[in-house]
């Protein structure tokens, strides 16, 4: 491979394993994503490194399990909130940092959620430009909600809008992304497109809601699908399909409660280390490079994207230790390649489970009465319904040793943990002003995710 590919990474928010047509949904029409899968490879065993957003995103950007970069927990809980003093340390190198060194134009459009202080913004982590919401869309001023500051929309490091029309933001994101692609058609580029959807509150365009068979959730999935179609049309229009790798995934599983989301056929949901919290869709398309119509069951994770991008772009690896492995051979069609031997399921600092190509061992669910070993055969029991630990003590012993080894490095007392970034006097990006002409001084949906 002589020419480094353009890379478009599309990352949804709380989209579940069973929410797309190509992954079995019968209620959410996703023709553009189904086409993406038909023209590329659909992965069945792809994992995010956390069942919630901040650690998931920090891990993907750096190629590290969350505890390694200090992203296992924060002052206010599992994720970062507005005005939080913590964020992704500038000592960490992201895939954007490494690709920018290789001459890539780099842009993030959408949700960041790795720290809203100036020192932690995307422009301090390898991205030339940023346009989006710095954290979850339920962290603005909302009906019956906590006293959050106004929801900000950033361009680079400047707040350019507050409490804006949330139903229109995906269209604004698509316009920004298409402009970036056009402006950089003659050089390699990295576009990280991080959707607002399907995180609550689900504020959606009326025309999509009118066509949805799955309420506001279905309309949000339709918006995601439309956005994908627009990006693909742009690549086709500019003749960039054969030198652009497109990846589509989600940051963690669906809440899968009453909003319409689905993790089927997986067990569990967002916030849990059952498969439904961390196993996600991954679709990869690169015309004439990635096999079309392929379904790949190779074990892989979002922390593997950084070393894969580095390999494809002929860039250098980070100076610090990472946990990801190069998936380029797998992407390009080598079904015998098995670069990842195991995968760890962290909930905050608690290493609750580990899996290999076939088996998953649970040693903790974070509940004292459920801390007995459980073993599941994920090849024959994807829904984690049958505990077979008593039948396979040798597998339990082997995976227990694997888990103990990872814990010694990355557990609460682990020897390889690194501190997250922190500022001494954090400030929110926006402050409520009664005189400001907000589009919505308070969003009228009470839903929070």
Alpha-carbon span 140 to 430, nearest angstrom: 10
Q: In sequence order, which residues have a C-beta less than 8 Å from that of residue 95 and are 6 or more positions away?
A: 61, 63, 126, 190, 305, 306, 309, 310
Q: Are 199 and 449 in contact (CB under 8 A)?
A: yes
Q: Tell me the H-state helices in 212-362.
A: 215-238, 275-278, 305-313, 328-331
**How confident is residue 75, by pLDDT bands cut at 50, 70 and 90?**
confident
Average pLDDT for 381-407: 98
pLDDT value for 371: 65
| Mean pLDDT of the region 75-85 | 91
Query: Quick check: 76 pLDDT over 90?
Result: no
CATH of domain 6-341: 3.40.720.10
In terms of Cα–Cα distance, which of 281, 290, 303 is closest to 330?
290
User: How large is the average pLDDT for residues 67-82?
Assistant: 93
- Nearest 10 degrees: Cα torsion 248, 253, 256, 259: -50
CB 47 within 8 A of CB 343: yes
Tell me what the mean pLDDT of segment 165-181 comes to: 98
243, 288 contact by CB (below 8 A): no
Query: On the CB side of 96, how many CA atoms lie within 13 Å of its CA?
Result: 25
pTM of the model: 0.97
pLDDT for the residue 360:
98
φ/ψ of residue 109, rounded to 5: -120, 120
pLDDT cut 70: percent of the chain above it = 99
Where do the domains of the chain lie?
A: 6-341, 350-410
What pLDDT was estimated at residue 258? 81
Instruction: Decide which of 3.30.365.10, 3.30.1120.10, 3.90.550.10, 3.40.50.10790 is the CATH code for 350-410.
Output: 3.30.1120.10
Question: Band of the pLDDT at 370, cuts 50, 70, 90?
Answer: low
Q: Rounded mean pLDDT of 76-92?
A: 94
Rounded to an integer, what is the distance from CA 430 to the centroid of its chain?
A: 25
Distance CA 51, CA 68 (A): 16
Mean pLDDT for the chain overall: 96
What percentage of the chain exceeds 90 in pLDDT?
95
The DSSP output letter for 335 is T
pLDDT score of 257: 78
DSSP single-letter state for residue 354 = E
Mean of the pLDDT values across residues 310-328?
98
Q: What is the average pLDDT across 96-116?
A: 98
Catalytic residue annotation: 53, 113
pLDDT at 1 over 60: no
Mean pLDDT of 2-10: 93
Closest to 207 measured CA to CA, from 224, 195, 219? 219
Task: Choose the weakest-confidence range: 116-130, 249-263, 398-412.
Answer: 249-263
**Residue where the block lists tokens 């990355």:** 410
pLDDT band of residue 419 (cuts 50, 70, 90) is very high
Helical axes 215-238 vs 31-38, angle rounded to 10°: 50
DSSP assignment of 11-50: EESS--TTSSGGGT-SSS--HHHHHHHHTSEEEEEEE-S-
152 has a pLDDT exceeding 60? yes
Instruction: Kindly give the pairing relationship between strand 300-301 and strand 41-47.
Output: parallel
Confidence of residue 239 (pLDDT cuts 50, 70, 90): very high
Q: Which of 153, 190, 214, 152 is nearest to 15 (CA)?
A: 214
C-alpha closest to that of 82 among 160, 137, 27, 10: 137
Q: Is the pLDDT of residue 392 over 80?
A: yes
Q: What is the pLDDT of residue 369?
A: 64
């Amino acid at each position: 491979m002589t020419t480094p590919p353009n890379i478009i990474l599309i990352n949804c928010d709380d989209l579940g394993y069973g929410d797309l047509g190509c992954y079995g949904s019968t209620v959410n029409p996703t023709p553009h994503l189904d086409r993406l899968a038909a023209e590329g490879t659909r992965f069945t065993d792809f994992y995010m490194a956390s069942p919630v957003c901040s650690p998931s995103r920090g891990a993907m950007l750096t190629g590290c399990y969350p505890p390694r970069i200090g992203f296992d927990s924060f002052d206010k809980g599992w994720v970062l909130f507005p005005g939080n003093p913590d964020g992704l340390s500038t000592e960490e190198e992201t895939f954007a940092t490494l690709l920018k060194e290789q001459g890539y134009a780099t842009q993030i459009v959408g949700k960041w959620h790795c720290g809203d202080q100036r020192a932690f913004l995307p422009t301090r982590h390898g991205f030339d430009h940023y346009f989006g919401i710095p954290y979850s869309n339920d962290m603005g001023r909302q009906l019956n909600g906590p006293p959050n500051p106004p929801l900000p929309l950033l361009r680079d490091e400047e707040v350019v809008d507050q409490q804006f029309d949330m139903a229109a933001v995906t269209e604004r994101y698509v316009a920004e992304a298409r402009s970036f692609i056009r402006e950089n058609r003659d050089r390699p580029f990295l576009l990280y497109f991080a959707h607002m959807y399907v995180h609550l509150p689900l504020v959606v365009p009326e025309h999509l809601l009118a066509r949805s068979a799955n309420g506001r959730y279905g309309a949000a999935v339709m918006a995601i699908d439309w956005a994908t179609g627009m990006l693909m049309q742009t690549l086709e229009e500019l003749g960039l399909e054969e030198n652009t790798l497109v990846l589509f995934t989600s940051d963690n599983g669906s809440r899968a409660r009453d909003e319409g989301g689905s993790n089927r056929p997986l067990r569990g949901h967002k916030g849990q280390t059952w498969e439904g919290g961390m196993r996600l869709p991954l679709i990869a398309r690169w015309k004439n490079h990635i096999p079309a119509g392929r379904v790949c069951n190779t074990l892989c994770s979002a922390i593997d994207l950084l070393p894969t991008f580095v390999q494809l772009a002929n860039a250098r690896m980070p100076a610090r230790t990472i946990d990801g492995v190069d998936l380029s051979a797998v992407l390009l069609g080598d079904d015998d390649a098995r670069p990842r031997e195991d995968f760890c399921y962290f909930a905050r600092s608690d290493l609750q489970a580990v899996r290999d190509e076939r088996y998953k061992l649970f040693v903790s669910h974070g509940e004292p009465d459920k801390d007995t070993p459980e073993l599941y055969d994920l090849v024959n029991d994807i829904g984690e319904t049958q505990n077979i630990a008593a039948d396979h003590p040798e597998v339990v012993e082997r995976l227990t040793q694997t888990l103990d080894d990872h814990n010694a490095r990355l557990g609460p007392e682990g020897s390889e943990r690194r501190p997250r970034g922190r500022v001494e006097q954090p400030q929110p990006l926006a402050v409520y002003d009664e005189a400001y002409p907000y589009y919505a001084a308070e969003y009228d949906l009470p839903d929070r995710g």
